[in-house]
Structure 1
């Protein structure tokens, strides 16, 4: 599902990576493993990785897309 951002989210006692809008989901025991897999997938698909905390709130974002780098401000 290219073009869909990837989220690292709580999944029971573990963590999962999933694409926005559903579809693919992969579960992991440790958050570090989910972040590593999510980062690799986001880089491959050139999308954004959003890392959620246990409370469901986004605590970190990493963009691997084609963001313009010459923005002032």
Structure 2
């Protein structure tokens, strides 16, 4: 069963960090700063979990995390 995919990125207009589900323009959650966002990802994604791409301010991918860890695909590198 596929897991939900999310992206955490900085909104250039509001300068806040938005967690958005893939295919949606609406934020699932908005954070004041990146540190707060990264700490709150597990709760924001919820109990069903998901994969989160964390982007830098310049919009390049910094890293990808899976919550909970048990949903991480076994065949992936990293």
Task: Answer yes or no: same fold by TM over 0.5.
Answer: yes
* CA offset digits 1:18-70 (Å, max 9, x no partner): 1111155121111112222223344622321110001111111112324126x
In angstroms, what is the RMSD of aligned CA positions?
Answer: 2.5
**Contact persistence 1:15–1:28 (CA under 8 A):** yes
- For 2:48 and 2:26, the matched residues in 1 are separated by 14
User: Are 1:52 and 2:51 an aligned pair?
Assistant: no
Instruction: Identify unmatched segments of 5+ residues in structure 2.
Output: none
What TM-score, normalized to structure 2? 0.67
Preserved CA contact (<8 Å) 1:49 1:63 = yes
C-alpha distance in 2 between matches for 1:66 and 1:28: 25
TM superposition score normalised by structure 1: 0.71
Other-structure match for 1:68: 74
For structure 1, the 5+ residue unaligned runs are none
